[in-house]
């Protein structure tokens, strides 16, 4: 009985698909790495620290340093300029956004110093991930500026950054201050 | 007789009063509010049928005191620590509350676990997991840790979020919003009027029903989205990726956004189209089905 | 319509045979060019082999995210090691070895670094979207859920048809261990599928 079932298992296993197409085209990631072997690997899926885009600082004050290509120009972009870049068509990240971000940023910076080191590292790592996404999408947009989908994604990426700032800011203080007696 | 006395004296001295142990009870409103603050350690809350709040557990050696008091309908439990608190403040609190209470738990470096509480819940920690069973509106959040909300499929508003960790909603129904940055979002066995879920690096897995006129939105930056609607879907469906395939088991096939790029898009109306389904990724495949 | 299809399909299969013969000849040329650092030739090799490599990675890891990374890593490794490919095995087999090494390497790395993303990926496999349907799908899902060691052996031996010796060699284990793992896999799968009324 067991043998019969195991044989059926063997037969069925041989029929399982061995060729499976990936959901997305994996070649670009490979091409980029083999083209410039000395550049650290850029893997968007894990968004590990990439030398392609180096983000300095983990507080709300961020300097984006975008390295384009192995020998290409080093572009230093301040957050305000990046926000300006995200103002297109009917979408606008104007001064209102800046003010909101500044407010959240202040709370966030104050909270950062209160966090335990491991948590602070965690938050910084995650903020980095969100910012890498912002730069990735910005770069894609540069090559395809009229892409409405990319424009929407960029705006949502900025919103994601704000969301992290908002969710983390003031947490510890709120707990400590509660019903302070 | 002498021997007995000696034994009793021995016992008294063997158990010095432990300033750290807590065992206190207060009468409380049957459906009032209980606020709990604990900087570090753990907070476990259970609903029970008594009209009392009972706190048991241990306080860290450097804890100043436990504030435990009632003001009409509100009971406050707070672990008071020195301003410059460092070590020795870890406290484990077990709190029993009247089951119809609504609770508000705030912690920094502590896990929060709640069960059998029928009222509204607001649970927030910074470093730790939040696990709860919810029968009414719930807001559950962490920064470094997982958030798990299970329900009884009664309609509630649930908001669950973390920055580094997974968010899991199980048998929750009504309206839900769930987000993470690094981590997965899983929503299973529910039935919804509104769903707003997303993560930056991670997957979204959804296997629940979307009701008529329901609004569903799921997005990731880097990660796959797997949506299985239980039952039919009546909505305007818009799905897109910048880099990733779209597979759907109902509706037309997805189309390439451009001949040269790796993005796909899928736009169609299912059923009467009274609801909305929006799914998008930057890098990630999307599976969409309705069974 | 049916007649048209039949006529076309015989043309098609003829074309396929021709295409396959051409492909074999082409592959040898592409390998030579790629060994001289021709990235376009390597891309052709990629297009030819990616489905099998991805399939292998996916079945071995049971997770889409991991499989995508594994596939990319494997091809990058292959590019770096092209000079060492002598042609005494089929290129596909050579690629598969690299893919298996990549999977194992990532497991070792994740154990060392305790990378949370890696751990989450490994313990919470996402249902794999393959072209398997019905019972094969059930089997596919059950394979994804096997414990790691048993899964690796089952995929290489039972799905991809490598002998115990070959599979053991690729996985860096003894042939006896490979047989034991296969036995374990079969037992677990039988139990799992019996519950679902599996009838092959």
User: What is the H or E stretch that residue A4 is in?
Assistant: helix A2-15
Distance from CA of A46 to the nearest CA of B (A): 7
Rounded to an integer, the average pLDDT of C102-116 is 66
* Same domain, yes or no: C61 and C143: no
ipTM value: 0.74
Instruction: Please name the member of B141, B143, B221 whose beta carbon is closest to the beta carbon of A157.
Output: B221
How far is residue B203's CA from residue C64's CA, in Å, rounded to a whole number? 10
Which residues, in sequence order, are CB contacts of B39 under 8 Å at separation 6+?
A175, A176, B79, B81, B85, B89, B91, B107, B108, B109, B110
Rounded to an integer, the average pLDDT of B127-152 is 93
* Same domain, yes or no: C120 and C105: yes
Which pLDDT score, from 0 to 100, does residue C7 have?
40
Rounded to an integer, the average pLDDT of B214-231 is 93
Closest listed residue to residue B221, CA positions, set B250, B237, B194, B244: B244
Q: Above 70 in pLDDT, residue C123? A: no
Closest listed residue to residue B190, CA positions, set B177, B203, B202, B206: B206
State the pLDDT confidence band at A148, using cuts at 50, 70 and 90.
confident
How far is residue B44's CA from residue A100's CA, in Å, rounded to a whole number? 36
Question: Do the beta carbons of residue B233 and residue B275 sit within 8 Å?
Answer: yes
Which pLDDT score, from 0 to 100, does residue A3 have?
56
Q: Above 50 in pLDDT, residue C124? A: no
Which pLDDT score, from 0 to 100, does residue B192 have?
97
State the pLDDT confidence band at C145, using cuts at 50, 70 and 90.
confident
Rounded to an integer, the average pLDDT of C135-139 is 84
**More confident site: B35 or A116:** B35
Which residues, in sequence order, are CB contacts of C164 under 8 Å at separation 6+?
C157, C175, C178, C179, C182
Q: What is the overall mean pLDDT for chain B?
A: 89
**More confident site: B145 or C111:** B145
Domain count, chain C: 2
Question: Do the beta carbons of residue B239 and residue B288 sit within 8 Å?
Answer: yes
How far is residue B247's CA from residue B287's CA, in Å, rounded to a whole number? 5
* Same domain, yes or no: C115 and C152: no
Which residues partner with B247 through β-bridges?
B287
Tens-place pLDDT, residues A70-104: 444 444 555 554 554 444 444 455 566 667 777 88
Rounded to an integer, the average pLDDT of A121-137 is 83
Q: Above 60 in pLDDT, residue A50? A: no
Which pLDDT score, from 0 to 100, does residue C159 have?
92
Which one of B141, B181, B281 makes the best mutation probe of the A interface by having the most chain A beta carbons within 10 Å?
B181
Q: Above 70 in pLDDT, residue B285? A: yes
3-class DSSP assignment, residue B54: strand
| Chain C residues within an 8 Å CB radius of A118 | none
Rounded to an integer, the average pLDDT of B145-149 is 91
* Same domain, yes or no: C117 and C175: no
Instruction: Please name the member of C55, C80, C158 whose beta carbon is closest to the beta carbon of A17.
Output: C55
How far is residue B223's CA from residue B66's CA, in Å, rounded to a whole number? 45
How far is residue C122's CA from residue B167's CA, in Å, rounded to a whole number? 17
- C-alpha distances (whole Å) from B97 to each of A28, B30, B49, B73, B115 are 57, 9, 8, 12, 10
* Same domain, yes or no: C120 and C135: no
Closest listed residue to residue A148, CA positions, set A68, A90, A66, A71: A90
Rounded to an integer, the average pLDDT of C138-160 is 90
How far is residue B227's CA from residue B280's CA, in Å, rounded to a whole number? 12
Q: Above 80 in pLDDT, residue C119? A: no
Which residues, in sequence order, are CB contacts of C165 under 8 Å at separation 6+?
C175
Rounded to an integer, the average pLDDT of C140-156 is 89
Torsion sign across C-alpha atoms A125, A126, A131, A135: positive
- Do the chains contact at B257 and A164, CB–CB below 8 Å? no
Which residues partner with B141 through β-bridges?
B124, B161
* Same domain, yes or no: C53 and C119: yes
- Do the chains contact at C124 and B184, CB–CB below 8 Å? yes
Distance from CA of C101 to the nearest CA of A (A): 17
* Same domain, yes or no: C35 and C66: yes
Rounded to an integer, the average pLDDT of C95-115 is 76
Q: pTM for this structure?
A: 0.59
Closest listed residue to residue B30, CA positions, set B110, B124, B102, B92: B102
How far is residue B192's CA from residue B212's CA, in Å, rounded to a whole number? 9
* Same domain, yes or no: C50 and C136: no
Which pLDDT score, from 0 to 100, does residue A171 have?
81
- Do the chains contact at A35 and C117, CB–CB below 8 Å? no
> Is the CB of A160 inside 8 Å of chain B's CB atoms?
yes
- Do the chains contact at B179 and A163, CB–CB below 8 Å? yes
Which pLDDT score, from 0 to 100, does residue C17 have?
55
Tens-place pLDDT, residues A21-40: 999 999 998 998 887 544 33
Instruction: Please name the member of C68, C131, C198 whose beta carbon is closest to the beta carbon of A45.
Output: C68
| C22 inside domain | yes
Distance from CA of C64 to the nearest CA of B (A): 8
State the pLDDT confidence band at A62, using cuts at 50, 70 and 90.
low
Q: Which two tokens stand for residue B1?
A: 């007789």
Which pLDDT score, from 0 to 100, does residue A37 have?
46
Q: Above 50 in pLDDT, residue C5? A: no
Question: Do the beta carbons of residue C41 and residue C35 sit within 8 Å?
Answer: no
Q: Above 90 in pLDDT, residue C74? A: yes
How far is residue C189's CA from residue C146's CA, in Å, rounded to a whole number? 8
| C3 inside domain | no
Q: What is the 3-state secondary structure (H, E, C) of A139-153?
A: HHHHHCCCCHHHHHH
Phi, psi of B230 (to 5 degrees): -85, 115
| C141 inside domain | yes
Which pLDDT score, from 0 to 100, does residue A71 have?
40
Q: What is the full DSSP assignment across C4-16?
A: HHHHHHHHHHHHH
How far is residue A36's CA from residue A15's CA, in Å, rounded to a whole number? 40
Q: Above 90 in pLDDT, residue B275? A: yes
Distance from CA of A44 to the nearest CA of B (A): 7
Which pLDDT score, from 0 to 100, does residue A83 have?
52
Q: Above 70 in pLDDT, residue C133? A: yes
Which pLDDT score, from 0 to 100, does residue A133 have?
83
- C-alpha distances (whole Å) from B6 to each of A69, B1, B9, B15, C74 are 84, 9, 5, 15, 76
| C171 inside domain | yes
3-class DSSP assignment, residue A107: helix
Which residues partner with A63 through β-bridges?
A56
> Is the CB of A17 inside 8 Å of chain C's CB atoms?
yes
Integer-rounded Cα radius of gyration of chain C:
19
How many residue contacts between B and C have a Cβ separation below 8 Å?
25
How far is residue A136's CA from residue C132's CA, in Å, rounded to a whole number? 35
Chains that touch C (3 or more CB pairs under 8 A): A, B
Which pLDDT score, from 0 to 100, does residue C86 have?
81
Tens-place pLDDT, residues C14-61: 555 555 566 667 888 889 888 888 889 999 999 999 999 999 999 998
**More confident site: A76 or C86:** C86
Q: Above 50 in pLDDT, residue A168? A: yes
| C155 inside domain | yes
Instruction: Please name the member of C51, C79, C194 whose beta carbon is closest to the beta carbon of A20.
Output: C51
Tens-place pLDDT, residues B37-85: 998 899 999 999 999 999 999 999 889 889 999 999 999 999 988 877 6
* Same domain, yes or no: C112 and C163: no
Q: Check which CATH number belongs to the domain holding C151 and give it.
A: 1.10.10.10
* Same domain, yes or no: C74 and C143: no
| C4 inside domain | no
Instruction: Please name the member of A6, A19, A34 whose beta carbon is closest to the beta carbon of C52.
Output: A19
Which one of A3, A6, A12, A43 makes the best mutation probe of the C interface by having the most chain C beta carbons within 10 Å?
A12
Number of neighbouring beta carbons within 10 Å of residue B277: 25
| C2 inside domain | no
Which pLDDT score, from 0 to 100, does residue C11 have?
53
How far is residue B179's CA from residue B198's CA, in Å, rounded to a whole number? 5
Burial readout C59-74 (b: 16 or more C-beta within 10 A, e: otherwise)? bbbbbbbbbbbbbbbb
Closest listed residue to residue B144, CA positions, set C114, A167, A123: A123
Q: Which residue range forms the structural domain that includes residue C141? A: 131-200
Indicate the pairing of strand A63-67 with strand B33-48.
unpaired
* Same domain, yes or no: C125 and C137: no
Question: Do the beta carbons of residue B132 and residue B138 sit within 8 Å?
Answer: yes
User: Which among B1-5, B50-54, C163-167, C182-186 has the top mean pLDDT?
Assistant: B50-54
Phi, psi of B130 (to 5 degrees): -120, 120
- Do the chains contact at A43 and C154, CB–CB below 8 Å? no
Ranking B14-23, B70-79, C171-180 by mean pLDDT, the lowest is B14-23
Instruction: Please name the member of A5, A19, A46 whose beta carbon is closest to the beta carbon of C190.
Output: A5
How far is residue B126's CA from residue B109's CA, in Å, rounded to a whole number? 6
- Do the chains contact at A30 and C190, CB–CB below 8 Å? no
Q: Above 50 in pLDDT, residue C4? A: no
- Do the chains contact at B163 and A179, CB–CB below 8 Å? no
Indicate the pairing of strand B264-270 with strand B235-243.
antiparallel
Indicate the pairing of strand B147-151 with strand B130-134.
parallel
Q: Above 90 in pLDDT, residue A55? A: no
Closest listed residue to residue B35, CA positions, set B75, B92, B93, B73: B75
Q: Check which CATH number belongs to the domain holding C87 and give it.
A: 1.10.1740.10
User: Which among A100-104, B29-33, B243-247, C135-139 has the top mean pLDDT?
Assistant: B29-33
Question: Do the beta carbons of residue B243 and residue A43 sit within 8 Å?
Answer: no
Which pLDDT score, from 0 to 100, does residue C197 have?
65
* Same domain, yes or no: C109 and C167: no
> Is the CB of B224 inside 8 Å of chain C's CB atoms?
yes
**Scanning every residue of chain B, which has its alpha carbon at the shortest distance from the alpha carbon of C131?**
B247
Q: Provide the angle, in degrees to the nearest 10, between the axes of the packed helices C64-81 and C39-61.
A: 140
Which pLDDT score, from 0 to 100, does residue A51 have?
33
**More confident site: B61 or A142:** B61
Question: Do the beta carbons of residue A160 and residue B200 sit within 8 Å?
Answer: yes
Q: Find the DSSP H helices in A78-116.
A: 79-85, 95-114
Closest listed residue to residue A83, CA positions, set A72, A98, A69, A73: A98
How far is residue B151's CA from residue A107's CA, in Å, rounded to a whole number? 33
Tens-place pLDDT, residues B129-139: 999 999 999 99
Phi, psi of A164 (to 5 degrees): -65, -45
Which pLDDT score, from 0 to 100, does residue C176 have?
76
């Amino acid at each position: 009985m067991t043998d019969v079932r195991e044989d059926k298992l063997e037969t069925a296993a041989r029929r399982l698909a061995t060729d499976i197409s990936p959901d997305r085209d994996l070649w670009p990631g490979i091409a980029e790495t083999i083209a410039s072997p000395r550049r650290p690997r850029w893997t968007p899926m894990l968004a590990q620290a990439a030398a392609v885009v180096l983000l300095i600082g983990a507080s709300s004050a961020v300097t984006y340093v975008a390295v384009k290509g192995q020998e290409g120009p080093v572009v230093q972009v301040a957050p305000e300029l990046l926000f300006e870049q995200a103002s297109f068509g009917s979408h606008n990240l104007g001064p209102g956004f800046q003010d909101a971000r500044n407010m959240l940023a202040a709370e966030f910076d104050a909270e950062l110093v209160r966090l335990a080191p491991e948590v602070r590292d965690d938050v910084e790592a995650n903020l980095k991930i969100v910012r890498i996404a912002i730069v990735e999408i910005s770069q894609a947009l540069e090559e395809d500026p009229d892409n409405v989908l990319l424009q929407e994604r960029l705006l949502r990426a900025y919103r994601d950054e704000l969301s992290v700032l908002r969710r983390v800011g003031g947490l510890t203080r709120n707990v400590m201050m509660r019903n302070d007696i | 007789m002498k021997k007995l006395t000696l034994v009793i004296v021995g016992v008294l001295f063997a158990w010095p009063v432990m300033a750290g142990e807590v065992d206190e009870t207060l009468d409380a409103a049957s459906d009032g509010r209980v606020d709990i603050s604990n900087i570090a350690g753990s907070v476990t809350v259970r609903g029970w049928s008594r009209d009392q709040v009972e706190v048991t557990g241990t306080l860290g050696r450097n804890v100043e005191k436990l504030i435990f008091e009632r003001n009409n309908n509100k009971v406050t439990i707070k672990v008071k620590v020195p301003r410059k608190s460092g070590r020795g403040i870890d406290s484990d609190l077990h709190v029993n509350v009247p089951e119809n209470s609504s609770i508000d738990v705030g912690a920094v470096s502590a896990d929060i676990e709640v069960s059998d509480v029928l009222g509204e819940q607001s649970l927030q920690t910074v470093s730790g997991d939040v696990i709860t069973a919810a029968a009414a509106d719930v807001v559950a959040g962490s920064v470094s840790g997982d958030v798990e909300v299970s329900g009884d499929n009664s309609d509630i508003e649930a908001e669950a979020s973390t920055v580094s960790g997974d968010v899991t909603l199980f048998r929750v129904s009504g309206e839900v919003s769930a987000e993470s940055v690094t981590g997965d979002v899983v929503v299973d066995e529910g039935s919804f009027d509104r769903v707003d879920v997303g993560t930056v690096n991670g997957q979204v897995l959804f296997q629940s029903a979307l009701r008529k006129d329901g609004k569903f939105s799921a997005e990731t930056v880097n990660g796959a989205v797997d949506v299985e609607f239980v039952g039919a879907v009546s909505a305007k469906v818009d799905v897109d990726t910048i880099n990733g395939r779209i597979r759907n088991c109902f509706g037309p096939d997805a189309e390439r956004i451009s001949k040269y790029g790796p993005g796909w898009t899928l736009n169609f109306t299912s059923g009467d189209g009274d609801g909305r389904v929006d799914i998008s990724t930057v890098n990630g495949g999307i599976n969409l089905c309705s069974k | 319509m049916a007649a048209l299809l039949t006529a076309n399909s015989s043309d098609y299969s003829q074309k396929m045979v021709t295409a396959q013969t051409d492909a074999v000849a082409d592959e040898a040329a592409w390998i030579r060019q790629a060994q001289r650092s021709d990235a376009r030739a390597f891309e052709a090799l990629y297009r030819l082999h990616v489905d099998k490599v991805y399939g292998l990675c996916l079945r071995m890891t049971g997770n889409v995210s991991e499989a995508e990374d594994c596939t990319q890593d494997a091809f990058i490794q292959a590019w770096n090691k092209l000079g060492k490919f002598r042609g005494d095995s089929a290129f596909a087999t050579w690629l598969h070895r690299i893919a298996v090494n990549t999977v194992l390497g990532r497991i070792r790395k994740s154990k060392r670094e305790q990378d949370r993303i890696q751990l989450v990926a490994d313990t919470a496999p996402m249902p794999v979207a393959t072209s398997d349907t019905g019972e094969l799908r059930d089997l596919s899902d059950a394979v994804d859920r096997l414990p790691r060691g048993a899964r690796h052996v089952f995929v290489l031996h039972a799905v991809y048809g490598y002998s115990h010796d070959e599979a053991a060699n690729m996985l860096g284990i003894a042939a006896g261990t490979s047989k034991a793992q296969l036995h374990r896999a079969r037992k677990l799968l039988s139990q799992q599928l019996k519950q679902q009324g599996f009838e092959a």
